[in-house]
Homo-oligomer: A and B are copies of this chain.
Amino acid sequence: MKPAPESAPQRLAQLIGHSVAAIDTPALVVDLDAMDRNLQRMADYAKSHGVKLRPHAKMHKSATLSLRQMQAGAVGMCVQKTSEAEALAAGGVSNIYISNEVIAPAKLQRVAALARALQARGGRLAIAVDSLLGIEQLAQALGAGENLIDVFVELDVGQKRCGVAEPADVLPLAQAIAAHPALRLAGLQAYNGRAQHLRTVAERRAALDEVIARVQQARRIVEAAGLSLPLVTGAGSGTFGLEASSGVFGELQAGSYLFMDADYARNEVDTSQPQFEHALFVKTQVMSVSAGHVVVDAGHKSHAIESGLPRVHGEALEATGCNDEHTTLRATSSAPLPALGASLWLIPGHCDPTVNLHDWMVGVRGGLQAGTVAEIIRVDARGCLD
């Protein structure tokens, strides 16, 4: 197996200090000024509300950006996959929570090795569980030793995906965790991904009322049995203000706030939580022009469309179709269509899977029109699926 051609990163590194006009297309571009404002805004919000912030790195998959979030006050990072945790750890992140279930014994061996490695450098690994089998296999992988990993019981709080179905189901898992010296019962994982994208504030509040009621019920049941759930962790960029002010959640896992996307932009604004700017763009070029439409050179291999088509930043254009390598745009006003060769900036429909399509992000300062390339950011955990 021969290595991949390394011409792309070399070309990208040469961009530093040059105008944004020099960025060839398609390219994933981060407006670093907007990103910094988003980063600080969320850090300030968490601090002022007395909740921990543990941003989800499944979104940007970057150790560099993780460390920047932690420098601003985040207690650590969330990931969804063992290999994501390994990639961030290799990049210098030492406090990582796999907010997801891992069942395969081969992967649990890697989880155990990572838990010991992070502890040896003064860090910590955490993981979620929703089954007795998962707890037993995790304990078996860890073997002898005390307090090697933090374990959160996942409760389904309305997403109907993973997690035990009922608050009462948390107790037997909490007891099983407490029975293993290598495992520390760290609390409750309570995340409702669906609630993030309910369009009205009223719908999101109603969904969070259910989340909070189920969390409180689980906590009462576990505490009545003489155990405690020290931390409730969850929340996303659509609802975090509700979790933060609940008095129940101690940690926020929002991730998308750093970049934002077209899907979140379709939410009714909740004025009770801070607002964030679009900081992630796909730079693209008009490659074909017809009487009624233009085609740009970035399709859904460049920007994920499973949560909707991209928006076109600052232009009276809308996407009408998208294939692997093409997106078709038409005018939404009587203004002329852009010319063949023109540069356009797409705001992706969904930031997380968009970043995962790219090996590198081009970081720009000074804006998308007149700015300069300031840094190239590696997507360390790109393609880390297992």
Chain A positions near chain B (C-beta within 8 angstroms): 1-2, 4-5, 7-9, 13, 24-27, 58, 80-81, 83, 86-87, 90, 100-104, 106-107, 130-131, 133-134, 156, 160-163, 165, 193, 285-291, 293, 295, 297-298, 300-302, 304-306, 321-326, 328, 340-341, 352-353, 356-359, 376, 378, 380, 382-386
Give me 21 A-to-B residue pairs in the complex whose CB atoms sit less than 8 angstroms apart, sorted by A's number: A1-B9, A1-B378, A4-B380, A5-B87, A24-B106, A58-B325, A80-B325, A103-B286, A103-B287, A133-B341, A161-B328, A162-B287, A163-B288, A165-B291, A300-B306, A301-B352, A301-B385, A324-B352, A356-B357, A357-B357, A382-B383
Question: Which of B103, B133, B165, B376 is A1 in contact with, Cβ under 8 Å?
Answer: B376
Contact (Cβ within 8 A) A27 B386: yes
Specify the chain B residue showing the minimal Cβ separation from A106: B24
Question: Contacts A161-B288, A305-B306 given: A13-B1 contact, CB under 8 Å?
Answer: yes
- Copies in the assembly, this chain: 2
Contact (Cβ within 8 A) B326 A162: yes
User: Shortest Cβ distance from A103 into chain B, in angstroms?
Assistant: 5
Specify the chain B residue showing the minimal Cβ separation from A133: B340
Specify the chain B residue showing the minimal Cβ separation from A305: B306
Question: Which of B81, B193, B297 is A323 in contact with, Cβ under 8 Å?
Answer: B193
Chain B residues with Cβ below 8 Å from A27 are: 386
Contact (Cβ within 8 A) B87 A341: no
Chain B residues with Cβ below 8 Å from A380 are: 4
User: Shortest Cβ distance from A384 into chain B, in angstroms?
Assistant: 8
Other A-B pairs beyond A156-B290, A302-B385, A305-B306, 14, CB < 8 Å: A2-B378, A8-B83, A24-B386, A58-B325, A103-B285, A103-B297, A104-B285, A131-B288, A162-B288, A162-B295, A162-B326, A165-B291, A300-B304, A306-B322
Q: A134–B289 Cα gap in the complex (Å)?
A: 11
Chain B residues with Cβ below 8 Å from A134 are: 340
Chain B residues with Cβ below 8 Å from A358 are: 383, 385
Contact (Cβ within 8 A) B101 A287: yes
Contact (Cβ within 8 A) B305 A324: no
User: Shortest Cβ distance from A267 into chain B, in angstroms?
Assistant: 17
Q: A9–B386 Cα gap in the complex (Å)?
A: 12
Chain B residues with Cβ below 8 Å from A356 are: 301, 324, 357
Contact (Cβ within 8 A) A103 B340: yes
Contact (Cβ within 8 A) A293 B325: no
Chain B residues with Cβ below 8 Å from A376 are: 1
Specify the chain B residue showing the minimal Cβ separation from A282: B385
Chain B residues with Cβ below 8 Å from A293 are: 160
Chain B residues with Cβ below 8 Å from A359 are: 383
Question: Which of B13, B24, B104, B385 is A107 in contact with, Cβ under 8 Å?
Answer: B24
Specify the chain B residue showing the minimal Cβ separation from A193: B323
Specify the chain B residue showing the minimal Cβ separation from A358: B383
Chain B residues with Cβ below 8 Å from A104 are: 24-25, 285, 341
User: Shortest Cβ distance from A284 into chain B, in angstroms?
Assistant: 10
Contact (Cβ within 8 A) B288 A130: yes
Chain B residues with Cβ below 8 Å from A4 are: 87, 380, 382
Chain B residues with Cβ below 8 Å from A385 are: 26, 298, 301-302, 325, 357-358
Q: A354–B198 Cα gap in the complex (Å)?
A: 28
Contact (Cβ within 8 A) B386 A80: no
Chain B residues with Cβ below 8 Å from A156 are: 290
Q: A86–B325 Cα gap in the complex (Å)?
A: 17
